[in-house]
């Protein structure tokens, strides 16, 4: 005999609460496994295609692992040292940039830089803060990141977890399907398929878009000669998954730096602005429609809310899982909305076939 809906709701409610408490308690311990799972999920379609070409799952997983390790080593040796160097230089240069900005505004717009004016006070306060706290904040963030993403986790745990999850991905999915409650298995499969489609469209597609745009911005800005082009491109590509925010942050930072570095060389400044304009055109008209699609259903405000809430609750690991959880909640919300629209709670008794209103509607339709 199946459990009553009330009992089932109580059971799954308790299960959800306990799971959330466990995840909150474990916190950063789960970070390498979350990263490994994300890598395996991202690469699973590649493994499936290699299997379709005639390779076994083990051989396909081994080939993907070797290729991924080689790419990571090349990036680590060629890009990361320069990225860190430019980031440190940018932090050290910020106070001088603010002083230059203050001098520029004071020369061009003296009325804004009165001794007790708002602009003057804001620039002075920002300069003092960056000069005293900037290096400490960057060093603290770097130490915190290294405590989370230590060498052992990066070089051992995450690749091992990703390898075994990728190797057994189809088997694990089949096992989870076997454990589904029989009464609810069809609807759970349907929702899981919709969630997977949403995640595949957004996570894999948008991840590719971020990588392409970040590389484009970094290489283009470095070719133009912008001093911190690699850092600006990395930042712009990293936040591209939030529509318009990547171009807004990266473009503002790049053009601001270009104004200081190339003042008077309007061609170089125009090239920097054109780089971001072209990037936005390519993203909006080519990359996002082709790689992400239009049916993802994740609004930028919903993404920001999810990142803020999960980041506050679970820290860095919360920000990693915020997007997939937001996508899953979005699918579930649309399902609940559809169920509500067909329920008595929404339709009421007046719209039922046997009611007077329903009968009159039926008669009018027949006429």
14-56 tens-digit pLDDT: 888 888 787 777 766 777 787 788 888 888 888 999 999 988 9
Residue 105 is predicted with a pLDDT of 62
User: Rounded to an integer, what distance in angstroms lies between the CA atom of residue 25 and that of residue 12?
Assistant: 20
**Are 155 and 231 contained in the same domain?**
no
Helices and strands counted in the chain (H then E): 17, 0
| pLDDT at residue number 332 | 85
Is 323:205 a contact under the CB 8 Å cutoff? no
Residue with more model confidence, 270 or 354: 270
**How many other C-beta atoms are found inside a 10 Å radius of the C-beta of residue 327?**
26
pLDDT category at 296 given cuts 50, 70, 90 is low
DSSP state of 52: H
Same domain, yes or no: 37 and 112: yes
Choose among 168, 240, 172: nearest CA to 210: 240
Q: Name the band, by pLDDT with cuts 50, 70 and 90, for residue 96.
A: low
> For the chain, what is the domain count?
2
Task: Kindly state whether residue 108 falls inside one of the protein's structural domains.
Answer: yes
**Entry pTM:** 0.61
Interhelix angle 229-238/205-224, rounded to 10 degrees, is 160
Question: Is the pLDDT confidence value at 12 over 70?
Answer: yes
Please check whether residue 276 lies inside any domain of the structure: yes
Length of the chain: 367
Do 164 and 218 sit in the same domain of this protein?
no
d(CA 297, CA 327): 8
CA–CA separation, 223 vs 152, rounded Å? 35
Mean pLDDT along residues 180-206: 82
3-state secondary structure of 71: helix
Return the higher-pLDDT residue of 350 and 114.
Answer: 350
259, 291, 323 — which closes off a domain? 291
Q: What is the pLDDT of residues 330-343, one digit of tens each?
A: 888 888 888 888 88
User: Of 261, 276, 291, which residue sits at a domain end?
Assistant: 291
Whether residue 155 sits in one domain with residue 46 = yes
Site of tokens 């290294």: 146
Return the percentage of the chain with pLDDT > 70, whole number. 67
- 32 and 159, same structural domain? yes
Q: So what's the pLDDT on residue 361?
A: 46
State what percent of residues in the chain have pLDDT above 90.
Answer: 2
Which segment, 21-30, 112-121, 145-154, 156-165, is predicted with the most confidence on average? 156-165
Q: Are residues 154 and 227 in the same domain?
A: no
Residues 165 and 216 in one domain: no
In a domain, 184, yes or no: no
- Rounded-to-integer distance, Cα 281 and Cα 295, Å: 20
Q: Is the pLDDT at 77 greater than 80, yes or no?
A: no
Tell me the residue range of the domain where 108 lies.
28-170
List Cβ neighbours of 341 (8 Å cut-off, separation of 6 or more). none
Q: Are residues 42 and 162 in the same domain?
A: yes
**Residue 7 falls inside a structural domain:** no
Same domain? For 65 and 118 the reply is yes
Those residues whose C-beta lies under 8 Å from the C-beta of residue 58, and which sit 6 or more positions away, are 167
For the ranges 161-165, 326-330, 358-362, which has the lowest average pLDDT?
358-362
Same domain, 45 and 124: yes
Q: Tell whether the model's pLDDT for residue 143 goes beyond 70.
A: no
What digits encode the pLDDT tens for the residues 157-190? 888 888 898 888 888 888 888 888 887 788 888 8
Would you say residue 6 lies in a domain?
no
The residue with tokens 């505004």 is: 105
User: d(Cα 170, Cα 174) in Å, to the nearest integer?
Assistant: 6
Half-sphere exposure of residue 261: CA atoms within 13 angstroms, side-chain side: 21
Instruction: Decide which of 152 and 189 is more confident.
Output: 189
**Are the C-beta atoms of 171 and 261 separated by less than 8 Å?**
no
pLDDT digits (tens, 9 = 90+) for 216-242: 988 888 888 887 788 888 888 877 776
Do 155 and 32 fall into the same domain? Answer: yes
160 falls within a domain: yes
More confident position, 96 or 286? 286
Please check whether residue 191 lies inside any domain of the structure: no
Task: Among 111, 145, 170, give the residue marking a domain's end.
Answer: 170
Whether residues 111 and 57 share a domain: the answer is yes
What's the confidence (pLDDT) of residue 251? 82
Residue 32 lies in a domain: yes
pLDDT band, residue 144 (cuts 50/70/90): very low
Specify the higher pLDDT residue, 58 or 200: 58
Owner of token pair 């679970």: 314
């Amino acid at each position: 005999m199946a459990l009553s809906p009330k009992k089932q709701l109580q059971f799954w409610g308790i299960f959800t609460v306990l799971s959330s408490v466990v995840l909150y308690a474990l916190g950063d311990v789960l970070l390498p496994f979350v990263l490994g799972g994300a890598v395996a999920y991202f690469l699973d379609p590649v493994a499936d295609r290699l299997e379709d070409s005639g390779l076994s799952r083990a051989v396909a997983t081994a080939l993907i692992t070797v290729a991924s390790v080689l790419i990571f080593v090349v990036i680590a040796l060629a890009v990361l040292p320069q990225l860190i160097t430019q980031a440190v230089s940018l932090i050290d240069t910020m106070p001088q940039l603010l002083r230059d900005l203050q001098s520029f505004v004071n020369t061009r717009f003296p009325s804004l830089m009165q001794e007790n004016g708002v602009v003057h006070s804001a620039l002075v306060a920002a300069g003092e803060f960056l000069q005293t706290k900037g290096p400490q904040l960057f060093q603290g963030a770097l130490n915190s990141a290294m405590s989370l993403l230590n060498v052992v986790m990066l070089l051992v745990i995450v690749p091992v977890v990703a390898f075994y999850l990728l190797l057994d991905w189809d088997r694990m999915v089949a096992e989870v399907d076997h454990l589904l409650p029989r009464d609810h298995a069809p609807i759970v499969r349907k929702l899981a398929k919709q969630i997977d489609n949403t995640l595949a469209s957004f996570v894999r597609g948008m991840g590719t878009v971020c990588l392409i745009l970040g590389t484009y911005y970094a290489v283009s800005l470095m070719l133009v000669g912008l001093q911190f082009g690699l850092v600006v491109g990395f930042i712009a590509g990293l936040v591209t998954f939030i529509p318009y925010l990547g171009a807004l942050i990266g473009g503002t930072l790049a053009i601001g730096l270009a104004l200081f570095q190339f003042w008077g060389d309007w061609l170089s400044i125009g090239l920097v602005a054109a780089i971001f304009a072209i990037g936005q055109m390519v993203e909006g008209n080519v990359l996002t429609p082709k790689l992400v699609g239009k049916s993802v259903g994740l609004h930028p405000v919903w993404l920001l809310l999810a990142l803020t809430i999960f980041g506050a609750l679970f820290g860095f690991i919360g920000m990693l899982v915020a997007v997939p959880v937001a996508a899953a909640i979005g699918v579930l919300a649309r399902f609940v909305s559809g169920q509500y629209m067909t329920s008595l709670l929404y339709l009421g008794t007046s719209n039922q076939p046997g009611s007077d209103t329903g009968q009159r509607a039926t008669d009018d339709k027949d006429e």
